[in-house]
Every structure is written in structure tokens, then in C-alpha cells.
Amino acid sequence: LEIDSQSLNSSQLKVQSAASLKAFMLKNSTKSNLNLYDHLTQLLIKVMDEQLQNVVDVIEDISHDVKRGLVEDKQSTLRDLPQTTAAELLAEQQRLLFSRPEDADQEDELVETPLPNVSEIGFYLEQAGVGLGREEMQRIFLALKQLVESQALLRCRLWGKILGTESSYIVAEAEYREGEEEEEQITDEAAEEEERETEAQDSEENEMDPLPQSTYKPAPVVPKEAIGTGANKCVYYVCKEPGLPWVKLPPVSPVQITVARHIRKFFTGRLDTPVNSYPPFPGNEANYLRAQIARISAGTQVSPQGFFQAGEEEGDEEDEAPRDSYEVNPDFEGIPVAEMAESLSTWVHHVQHILQQGRCTWVNLAVKPGEDSNEEGEAEEKEEEPDEPEPEVGPPLLTPLSQDAEMFNTPPWSSKMSSTLTSQHAAAVLRSNLWPGAYAYACGKKFENIYVGWGLKYAGEGYSPPVPPPPQKEYPSGPEITEALDPSLEEEQALKEALEEQQAAQEEMEDTDEEEEDDD
């Protein structure tokens, strides 16, 4: 029994000591809030699971691993806030350019595509020392493809890039489709009518208490050129970066062109920015951009002589009306590059000159607007009347560059070969000195124009803004408001005496009359 009780005691003690040990091991650490018991359990579980060889050698490392595993989960309690940068957004947008359309096979069958071969153009431009870099050219190529597909354009080409203070514009030139012009004109007319209505309302409101009417009459507005002709021959699309949506620019009006000639302003890169200038520019930056594009096109779009020929339909009228259409000459053989680089007479303008009036074809403003808008031919017939203004005539279409006017003692064009070492395979390069950034190249039958610059014309020796008009006269000077000299004292007295004498004479007369009456 004793042995039993002893063994019982000792076993009880053992249990107690084991329990106390376990309690000790279960005690959490004040530092890490872990306890040894759990740690060992996890360690052994890990050893059982993984059944490593020579476990005893690496037990410390496993112990370390177990501890680290507990900590790892807690390491980052902050949620990762993804910040999208502008570059990422742009990349997302541009990703669409590189997606291949599903019906790509069908497109290959089309013989003629409106898409220009921008890669080839880019190659020649690189020879000429201009261009936007190969990658950007490729992106623009894809963006043009996107534009052609979305708008179903007849013809489209890369016009150039206009740099701005915040971002730049990539400009694409396209031709109008039939039918499109009508829609535009209708919307224009609607807008004009709305304006008139608002004006009418204003005048009605003022009728109650009429304000003095201003006698200022604005100069007659030069009518806008019809879409598809003159400065509005082509339509322009711009985008900030290839991949971003293309925006169509509004047609240009003559007054915008004439004002744009007087101001110098950098582009900002946002189309809706107001253009604060003197003289005030009618419209926002989109209109200003369109006006500058029209001016640059008219001044610097050139082609090798003979590439285009005058349209056949206008054979009879050549003497009277300036030619405004041309067609590709099928017999053009190409001019040797050396000759093109040497003489400017081998290059011709193929965009109409913009007259002082802001239009390509002159319109007679002295004729009443009703008649004028109906038929321009009628206006031309009346030109012979004596008080008619002299019609402005610009150089006809396809005029050689050698006839360009020289400004500020600077020749308008500089020409050179793209390569001096291998001139046999070089291209002729033409650079405009009046519009810095306008380039043209020609090589064999291929030629292209591009503009990359700030959209400002060379101003010679500094730019001086136009002065405001002289102040208007306040009132017409007449006798009733003209200031007279004050009479001197003698004069006053003389006048006084004269008056008194007169009065005395009258009184006498009256007296005599009375007397006579009395006598009767």
C-alpha cells in the first residue's frame, strides 16, 4: 500500500510539476505576446509535415521561420493606394491604337486606302532633319488610321504638329465628303438666326426707356467662305496625343484670319481657352488654331512643279477668275533632286493665297448682301462702276515659289539637299523662313509638307501690336455750341448805351403816339 501511495504521490507530483511547467510554457511573452508551448507545437507540426533530413541541424532556422510566419501577416496594415499617373492613363488610352480589328482580312482587299503611308513620310522627313521621332510617328500613324475608320474620310494626311505651352496639337488634314457641308451650313444659319433673335429681344426691352443710339457702324462683315472652297477647303482634326480623341476644328471666317494676322500669341494646348488679345479675336483657341492653320497652309504648302495641273473645267475662265482647283498630273515624271534643291521655280504653291480680306476669292462688300450671297459672278460684272472698290487679286494657284515676296530682307525659302555625301539618293528639302517650322521635301514623284512649330510667323525685328483707333469726336461742332469771346467792358457799355437810346426812342415814339391819340 505504501509503495502504492508513494508511487501515487510521486506520480501526482510529476503531474503537478508537468502542469506547472505547462502553465509556465503557456505564459505569454510580454514583448511579442507569444508563448513557448504554442511555438513548440507549431514547430513540431512543421517538422512532422515537412519531414526534413537532419532536422536537428536546422531546427533553429525552422523555429525562426515559424516566428517570422506569424509576424509577416501583420507587417503591412496600410492598404496600398494605387495612384494612377498621367503616363499610365495615356498608356491605357494608347493601348486601343494597338488592338487589331477582327475584320482585318477584309481591309487588305481594298485597293485604295485614304490612309497615308506615314512610315515612308517619316523616313523622308528624318532624312530632311525634321520629324517627331520614329515612335511618335508610328503612334500618329495608328491614330490617323483610327480617325479614318471612325470618320470614313475620303483622304487624310498628317498636317503637322503645333506646339503649345501646356501640350501640343497633332493636326490631321482631311477632305470634306459630299453632303457634309450642307449640314454644317444649316447649323451655321441656325446659329445666326438665334443671334438675330436675341438682338431683337434686346431692342424690345429697351424700347420703354430708349438709350442714346451709338452712331458707330461696324465695318461690313466679310462673308465666310463656303465649306469646301478657299480657306475652308479642308477640314482639320486635332488631338493632344496620339490615342486621345480627335477633335474637329470649326471652319474659319475671314475676320478670324485678318485678326490673327495682327496678333502674336502662343497656343496653350487647351482648345477652349479664350484668346485675350488686341484687336479682339472672335472666338477661342480652336478658332485661332484653325486660322493659323489656314495661314500656314496657304503660305507653305508646296509641291514640285508639274505634279498638279490646273483643273480642265476651268480652261476658259483662267483670265478672269483665279483658279481654285487642280488635279494630279498623270504624266508627271519627277524633277531631278539637284535641280529641285537649287531653284525655287521648280516648286509651286498648291493652296490658294489668302487675300487681305481674309478670303481666297475676293468678294465685293459694296454690293448689297442679298445680291452678293446669291451670285458672286454678278459682283464681278459690276466691278466696272466707278465707286466700286478695287478687287484684290492674289497670285493664281500653282505659282512658282521664286515669285514669293521677300520680307524683312530675308529670302522666304531655304533649300538644300538632305545629304551632301550621297547626293545621288538624297531628297530635296525646302524650309520656310517666314513660317519657322514649315518644311517640304521632294524625292522623285514623292513629296510632302509638314509643319512642326509654334504656329507663329517670323516677325522680323520684333513685333509691335497695332495701336488702338483714335478717339471719336464727342459731338459735331456747330455755331450753337461754339465758344465765343467774352465782350470787353467798353463793348458792354456801348451796347448798353445803344439799348438805352433805342428804348428812349421807343418811349418817345409811344409818348407822341399817346399825345396824338389824346389830341384826337
Where on the chain is the footprint of other proteins (CB under 8 A)?
Answer: 85, 126-136, 161, 163, 168, 408-411, 414, 418-422, 431, 433, 436-437, 452-453, 460-461
Gyration radius from the chain CA atoms: 44
Which one, 119 or 414, has the nearer CB to other proteins? 414
**Alpha-carbon distance 518 to 173, whole Å?**
108
Q: What residue has cell string 450642307? A: 182
| Least distance from other proteins to the Cβ atom of residue 168, Å | 7
| Least distance from other proteins to the Cβ atom of residue 243, Å | 14
| Least distance from other proteins to the Cβ atom of residue 129, Å | 5
Which one, 176 or 447, has the nearer CB to other proteins? 447
Return contacts of 249-252, CB within 8 angstroms, 24+ apart.
249/286, 249/289, 249/290, 249/293, 250/283, 250/286, 250/287, 250/290, 251/184, 251/224, 251/225, 251/227, 251/290, 252/224, 252/287, 252/290, 252/291, 252/294
According to DSSP, residue 244 is labeled B
Which one, 405 or 489, has the nearer CB to other proteins? 405
Which one, 4 or 135, has the nearer CB to other proteins? 135
| Least distance from other proteins to the Cβ atom of residue 132, Å | 6
| Least distance from other proteins to the Cβ atom of residue 311, Å | 34
What stretch of H or E contains 200?
A: helix 180-206
**Cβ within 8 Å of residue 233, ≥6 positions away:** 176, 351, 352
- To the nearest 10 degrees (0 to 180), the angle between helices 134-151 and 118-128 is 140
- Structural contact between residues 154 and 114, judged by C-beta atoms closer than 8 angstroms: yes
**Alpha-carbon distance 399 to 302, whole Å?**
10
The closest alpha carbon to 171, from 321, 310, 271, belongs to 271
Which one, 133 or 245, has the nearer CB to other proteins? 133
- Structural contact between residues 275 and 289, judged by C-beta atoms closer than 8 angstroms: no
| Least distance from other proteins to the Cβ atom of residue 453, Å | 6
Which one, 69 or 133, has the nearer CB to other proteins? 133
- To the nearest 10 degrees (0 to 180), the angle between helices 285-300 and 254-262 is 80
- Structural contact between residues 125 and 450, judged by C-beta atoms closer than 8 angstroms: yes
| Least distance from other proteins to the Cβ atom of residue 289, Å | 17
Alpha helices in 263-392 (DSSP H): 285-300, 337-342, 369-374, 376-381
| Least distance from other proteins to the Cβ atom of residue 334, Å | 21
| Least distance from other proteins to the Cβ atom of residue 137, Å | 9
Which one, 441 or 447, has the nearer CB to other proteins? 441
Which one, 254 or 453, has the nearer CB to other proteins? 453
Distances (CA, A) of 508 to 184, 303, 495, 515: 89, 103, 20, 10
Which one, 135 or 483, has the nearer CB to other proteins? 135
Which one, 352 or 449, has the nearer CB to other proteins? 449
Which one, 129 or 220, has the nearer CB to other proteins? 129
| Distance in Å from the first CA to the final CA of the chain | 191
- Structural contact between residues 135 and 118, judged by C-beta atoms closer than 8 angstroms: no
| Least distance from other proteins to the Cβ atom of residue 452, Å | 3
| Least distance from other proteins to the Cβ atom of residue 147, Å | 20
**Alpha-carbon distance 267 to 289, whole Å?**
8
| Least distance from other proteins to the Cβ atom of residue 53, Å | 45
Name the 3-class secondary structure at 129.
coil
Which one, 379 or 427, has the nearer CB to other proteins? 427
| Least distance from other proteins to the Cβ atom of residue 244, Å | 15
Q: What residue has cell string 487589331? A: 100
DSSP, residue by residue, 427-473: -EEEEESSSTTEEEEEETTEEEEEEEE-S----SS---PPPPPPPPP
The closest alpha carbon to 166, from 272, 302, 54, belongs to 272
Which one, 114 or 453, has the nearer CB to other proteins? 453
According to DSSP, residue 274 is labeled B
